[in-house]
Structures are given as C-alpha cells and as structure tokens.
Amino acid sequence: MARTDTDVLVIGGGIIGLGVAWRAAQRGLAVTVADPDPGHGAAQVAAGMLAPVTELQYGEEPLLRLGMASNERYAAFAAELSEVTGLDTGYRQTGTLAVALDSDDREELRELHSFHQRLGLESHWLTGRECRRLEPMLAPGVRGGLQVTGDHQVDGRRLTAALVAACERAGVDLHRAEVTELLVEAGRAAGVRLSGGEILRAERIVLAAGSRSHLLPGLPEGVLPAIRPVKGQVLRLRIPEQYAPFLSRNVRAVVRGQHIYLVPRADGELVIGATTEEQGYDTTVTAGGVYELLRDAHELVPGLTELPLVETNAGLRPGSPDNAPLLGPTALPDLIAATGHYRNGVLLTPVTADLLAEYLATGATPELAAPFSPSRFGSKVPA
C-alpha cells in the first residue's frame, strides 16, 4: 500500500476546501486535497450572492462580522485568483435591491432597515418609484425597497474553476478519490484511507466535506455535530442581447414567505433562486420547485417570461445546528473543521481560507474565528 506524507490533508475540494488548500499552500505548507471531483460541490449551483447585509437575520451579528470581513476581502481575492490563473471569477460590484411587494413585506423591510441602521450598515430606503427608476423591469406593484450598495456577486462556477487552477499552480496535490475512512491513531487524526485503498498520512487534517462532513467513516462520535443538507433548487435563464441590461443589480424579495432572488451576471446569465427544502441528500429538480420559483420571480419581474430557460439544478447547503460555520480545531487532535457554511459558503470563502491558513501556519486561532469554534457544540474528546 502506498504511503504519502503531507503537512495538511484537506478532505473535500468544494469551494471551502479549495480556498483553504490554496491559502495554506501559499503559506509554504505541503497540501493535499482528496475529492473524487474537486470543484463540483454546492458552489456549482449557488447564485453567488455576496450578501452579508441583505441576508442578515436577528441574532446573527457574529456571522455578520465574518461576512463583512469576507466581503471586504473579495475584490482582492478575486483579482489575485485572476492574476495567477488568467481566469475570470465573475466578481461584480453590483449592489443589491431588496424590494417589498405588499404592505406586510414593506413593514418587514422597514424593520430590517432599522436593524441595519442600529448596526451602522450601509442601507437606504427607497420608494417604489425610486426602485423602478433603478430597475425598470420591476413589477409596477413594488411598494418600496432597500438599496444595499455593498452586497455584490460572484460566479461560483468560475470561482471554483479558478481555485482548482490556483491550487494546481501553488503545488497543491489534488487526489481525485473519495476518502473512505479517517484513520485515528494514538488519539489523533493521523491520515485517511482512499477509495482505491491508498493511505495518506498528514500532520493535520482539514474536514471540508460540506453536508457529508459528519458522515465520514472513522470520525469518532461527538467530534462534529450533524451537518444537515438543505436543498436549494435554482434556475438559469439567458438574457438575449436585445433585452440587456435586463437587471443591473441583484434583486430580491420575500414572496408568500419564500425568499426569491435574481442575480444578473455580466455574461448574460440570470440566476433565479432558491427553494429551501430539508429532505436529506436528494437533489431532484421538481416540477413544483421550478413552478414556485418562476411564479414568484414573475411576480417580481413580469418580463422574465420572455427569456430562454437554459438550466434547472439543485444543490445542498451544509447547515450546522446554528447555521453558522465550524472553523478551527475539533476535540480530536489534528482534525480541523471548515464546514457548515450553509447559505453563505461562497461569501465566506476568502475569510475562511485566510483564517484556516493562519491557524495551520501558526497554531493560533485568529480572533475573528473564535466565535465559530466547533467546541461551541460541546464536542467531546474521544475516549
């Protein structure tokens, strides 16, 4: 059986694992990523909204701080990736408009606006007419909205492709294989077994397997809480040139209690998302899901029925028990978590990569990562 030694082994080459691997390799560490299909996780489906402010929910202030820190790093992160790979990431500073379609929605948005103001966040109230002046394709019934100039977008597919290329260039060893077992020796995470039987040994192991993180065979019970898969269905439309610019910024609303958003990309793609369904590891695209997305999006932007529908897709958001990520050492020595990013994994990639690389290079937990320690779930040191 072959043996390979490495400083850091990352289990899972989704957007988070790749980001961590790239930054860790830049710190001079020898890094290996194990994934049967690196770059093909949930970010292939994600809309790629970078929306710490419009996604904000009450009680999530630590997550806001993390999201804002990542958003601030995004322009430089995307520029560096493009520079080293020659690939475009689709990062666009568009801003976001969150609109209300009826008086209840307007009340809710008003409350969100007050919350933003209390926290000192950049967020401006607009009348319905002002919203339509910014986005003429909006339904005439729009009652008002919030303009958030700092919530932008990136193309998750382009970004992960750039991360794969950047990892390769930085000398990260990409093992296209599944990890079938975590090897625990002398009370620490010592290595993994791969689907072909090969064993890889590492000084430190980063668990970044998204919604499958807690299912890893060999992972001692109690080290990681269950990471639940939260299904999201998404549609992709194409904006023909004669309709451009159809929308100029991310547009979102709550329709019948469901969040709906439209993300217009520079290349003419219009992403409409997303359903939120908790039913295990199923990624079937359903008639009902597509219908609801189109119905709600049509209420917001009636003209979209003219656009070609080019793709329907579904992916799994990795949700932790408190919907915030797990970042840093677990109770099992030398096993480090980078998972549970739920609906913000694309946004949180730059900051997660930096914080984890800092920990891996220095052994110190950065202050920004402290609230996201896996120990908050009371994980036990395995006997």
Give the shortest CB-272-to-ligand FAD separation in angstroms: 10
Smallest distance, Å, CB 275 to ligand FAD?
Answer: 8
How many angstroms separate the Cα of 350 from the Cα of each of 163, 192, 227, 286, 295? 11, 26, 21, 33, 34
Instruction: Give the residue, chosen from 46, 121, 159, 335, that forms a contact with ligand FAD under the rule CB under 6 A.
Output: 46
Residue of 128, 220, 232, 374 that binds ligand FAD (CB under 6 A): 232
Tokens describing residue 187? 């009370």
When asked if residue 95 is in the footprint of ligand FAD (CB under 6 A), the reply is: no
Residues 308-347 that bind ligand FAD (CB under 6 A): 315-318, 339, 341-347
Among 8, 9, 10, 11, contact with ligand FAD (rule: CB under 6 A): 11
> What x-and-dash track marks residues 165-204 binding ligand FAD by CB under 6 A?
-------------xx-------------------------
Are the C-beta atoms of 340 and 318 separated by less than 8 Å?
Answer: yes
Pick one of 10, 45, 101, 137: the residue that binds ligand FAD (CB under 6 A): 45
Residue from 21, 48, 159, 289 touching ligand FAD (CB under 6 A): that is 48
Distance in Å, CB of 190 to ligand FAD, minimum: 17
> How far is it, in rounded angstroms, from Cα 303 to Cα 319?
34
Distance CA 4, CA 26 (A): 20
Residues 334, 330: Cα–Cα separation, whole Å: 8
Closest approach, Cβ 227 to ligand FAD, in A, equals: 9
Any contact of residue 12 with ligand FAD (CB under 6 A)? yes
Tell whether residue 34 is a contact of ligand FAD (CB under 6 A).
yes
Which of 91/144 has CB closer to ligand FAD? 91
The least distance separating ligand FAD from the CB of residue 362, rounded to whole angstroms, comes to: 23
